C-alpha cells in the first residue's frame, strides 16, 4: 500500500505442524489451549473488508475457531469513516485462557481511492502483525519471520496538511438511474447527489444535495366493462443539508444545522429547518467505535410552504421547535447494543410532538447460542403537513401521499445456535 513507508509481513513456513489430525473432532475444555502448537483465534468482525475466506488463506500460522470460548485470542474489529471518505479500522486483540490479560490495539486507515483488493490486503497485513506477537509465544513462533520492504521515495505519503492542495476538502458526485418492467407494469427511477465536506479534529463542515424521482405505471384491464386504464404514480424529493460542528473537548460538541426539502409525499413544496445544537458524550469521542452515550439538544425553527392546504387550514407557516435525543452504542466481546430515544416538539402547540424509541441487541448467551432483537416504536402527533383535501384510493395504494397516523412500530426477534466442529480453517468456494 502506498500509504505506508514501512511494510511488514509475517509468513509461516510450510513446516508448521499440520492441523488435519484435529480438524474433525471436538477437544475437551481441559486440554491445553494450543492445538498442535498453533494459536487459536476467534474473529469478531462485521465491517467492510471482513473477507474471512481471504484471512484464512493468507494467515495460516493460526487456527481459526468458531466460538470465542475455544480461542486463545479474540479479535474485535470496529470501523468508522474518515473525513476523506476512507475507513479507519480499530483492531482490538484480547488474550484469553493462557493469554489472559494480554491486550493490544492496532489501527488501519484506508485511502478513499483504495480498491477492494488493496483494502483487504492492508487489513490482512495488520491482522498478521497483531497475531504475530501472540504466536511468537507458541511452538509455532520459531517458524515465523519478519520481512521489511522499503518503498521508493515517490511512494512515500505526504508529510502533512501543508502538502494537501485541497486543504482537507472532499467532494463527491453521484448519478444513478434504473428501469424495470413487464407487459403491464413499468418503473423508472433516478437520483443525483453532490456533497462537499471538510473534516478536521476541531471542525467538521458537511454540505450535501440530493434529488430523487420515480415513476410507476400500471395497466389495469376491466374485462366486464371493457376498459383499459393506466394508473401513473410519480414521487419526487429534493434535499439540501448543511452542518457545521465544532469540537469542544473530549466529550462536548456544538453545531449549527440547516436543511431544505421539497418532498411531494409530505405535501412540502418547500420546507426549511435549522438551528443550533449541543451534544455531550458520557465517554470520550475517541472511544466511539467501542462505546458511546450521547445527549443532543437542538433548538430551531421550521418554515413550510405546502402544495395543498393542510387540515389546519395552512398554506404556509413558520414554527419554533426543539428536539432532544439520547443515543447509545456498545460493541464488546459479549455482543453489541444500539438504541436511541428521540423527542420532538413544536413550541407553538406543545401537543404537536413525536416520541420515537428504536434499538437492537445482539448477545452471545453461551457457547454457540446468540440472541438478537431489534425494533422501533413511535408516537406521532406532529403531522402538520396532512392535506385537507384528503387522499384518493389511488394515492393511498400507490403511496403518493403520507397518511395520518398516531403511531408506527416494527419488531424483530431471533436467535441462532451453532454446534459441531469448533475449527474453521478450511476454505472451499466450489459451486
The band of 17, judged by pLDDT with boundaries at 50, 70 and 90, is very low
Alpha-carbon gap, residue 169 to 205, rounded angstroms = 9
pLDDT digits (tens, 9 = 90+) for 318-358: 999 999 999 999 888 888 899 999 999 999 999 999 999 99
At 153 the pLDDT is 53
Q: Phi and psi dihedrals of 292, rounded to 5? A: -155, 145
Rounded to whole angstroms, how far apart are CA atoms 175 and 194? Answer: 9
CA 134 – CA 138 distance, rounded (Å) = 7
Compute how many other C-beta atoms are within 10 angstroms of the C-beta atom of residue 346: 19
Answer with the residue of higher pLDDT: 370 or 253.
Answer: 253
pTM of the shown model? 0.73
Cα 404 to Cα 418: distance, rounded to the nearest angstrom:
45
Cβ contacts of residue 311 below 8 Å, gap of 6+? 386, 387, 388, 404
Q: Check: CB of residue 134 under 8 Å from CB of residue 39.
A: yes
CB atoms closer than 10 angstroms to residue 388: 14
**Which one, of 222, 299, 294, lies nearest residue 251 by Cα?**
294
Residue length of the chain? 431
Sequence-separated (6 or more) residues with CB below 8 Å from residue 289: 78, 79, 80, 90, 331
**What is the predicted pLDDT for the residue at 59?**
87
- In this predicted structure, what is the pLDDT of residue 304? 97
Cα R_g (the chain), whole angstroms:
28
Closest by CA position to 39, among listed 90, 8, 75: 75
Burial class (CB in 10 A: 0-12, 13-18, 19+), 140: buried
More confident call, 369 vs 140 = 369
Which one, of 250, 331, 339, lies nearest residue 78 by Cα?
Answer: 331
pLDDT at 205 over 80: yes
Q: What are the tens digits of pLDDT across the range 67-110?
A: 888 889 999 988 888 777 778 888 899 999 888 888 888 888 88
Provide the 8-state DSSP code for 152.
P
**pLDDT (0 to 100) of residue 292:** 92
Amino acid at each position: 500500500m502506498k500509504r505506508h513507508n514501512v511494510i511488514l509481513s509475517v509468513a509461516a513456513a510450510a513446516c508448521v505442524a499440520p492441523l488435519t489430525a484435529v480438524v474433525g473432532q471436538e477437544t475437551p475444555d481441559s486440554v491445553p489451549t494450543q492445538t498442535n502448537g498453533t494459536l487459536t483465534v476467534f474473529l469478531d468482525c462485521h465491517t467492510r473488508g471482513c473477507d474471512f475466506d481471504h484471512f484464512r488463506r493468507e494467515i495460516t500460522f493460526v487456527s481459526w475457531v468458531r466460538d470465542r470460548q475455544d480461542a486463545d485470542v479474540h479479535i474485535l474489529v470496529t470501523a468508522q469513516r474518515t473525513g476523506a471518505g476512507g475507513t479507519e479500522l480499530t483492531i482490538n486483540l484480547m488474550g484469553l485462557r493462557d493469554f489472559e490479560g494480554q491486550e493490544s490495539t492496532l489501527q488501519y486507515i484506508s485511502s478513499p481511492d483504495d480498491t477492494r483488493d488493496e483494502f483487504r490486503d492492508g487489513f490482512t497485513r495488520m491482522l498478521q502483525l497483531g497475531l504475530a506477537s501472540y504466536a511468537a509465544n507458541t511452538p509455532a513462533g520459531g517458524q515465523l519471520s519478519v520481512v521489511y520492504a522499503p518503498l521508493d521515495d515517490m511512494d512515500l505519503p505526504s508529510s502533512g496538511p501543508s502538502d494537501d492542495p485541497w486543504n482537507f476538502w472532499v467532494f463527491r458526485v453521484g448519478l444513478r438511474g434504473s428501469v424495470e418492467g413487464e407487459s403491464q407494469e413499468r418503473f423508472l427511477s433516478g437520483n443525483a447527489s453532490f456533497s462537499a465536506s471538510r473534516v478536521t479534529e476541531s471542525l467538521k463542515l458537511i454540505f450535501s444535495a440530493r434529488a430523487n424521482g420515480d415513476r410507476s405505471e400500471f395497466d389495469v384491464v376491466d374485462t366486464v366493462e371493457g376498459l383499459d386504464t393506466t394508473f401513473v404514480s410519480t414521487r419526487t424529493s429534493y434535499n439540501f443539508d448543511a452542518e457545521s460542528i465544532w469540537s469542544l473537548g473530549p466529550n462536548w460538541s456544538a453545531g449549527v444545522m440547516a436543511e431544505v426539502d421539497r418532498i411531494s409525499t409530505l405535501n412540502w413544496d418547500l420546507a426549511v429547518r435549522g438551528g443550533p445544537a449541543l451534544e455531550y458524550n458520557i465517554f470520550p469521542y475517541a472511544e466511539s467505535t467501542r462505546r458511546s452515550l450521547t445527549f443532543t439538544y437542538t433548538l430551531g425553527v421550521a418554515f413550510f410552504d405546502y402544495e395543498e392546504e393542510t387540515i389546519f387550514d395552512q398554506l404556509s407557516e413558520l414554527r419554533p421547535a426543539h428536539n432532544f435525543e439520547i443515543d447509545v452504542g456498545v460493541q464488546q466481546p459479549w455482543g453489541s447494543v444500539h438504541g436511541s430515544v428521540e423527542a420532538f416538539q413544536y413550541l407553538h402547540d406543545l401537543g404537536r410532538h413525536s416520541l420515537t424509541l428504536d434499538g437492537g441487541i445482539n448477545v452471545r448467551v453461551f457457547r454457540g447460542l446468540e440472541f438478537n432483537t431489534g425494533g422501533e416504536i413511535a408516537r406521532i402527533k406532529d403531522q402538520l403537513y396532512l392535506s385537507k383535501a384528503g387522499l384518493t384510493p389511488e394515492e393511498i395504494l400507490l403511496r403518493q401521499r403520507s397518511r395520518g397516523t398516531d403511531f408506527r412500530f416494527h419488531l424483530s426477534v431471533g436467535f441462532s445456535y451453532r454446534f459441531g466442529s469448533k475449527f474453521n480453517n478450511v476454505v472451499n468456494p466450489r459451486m
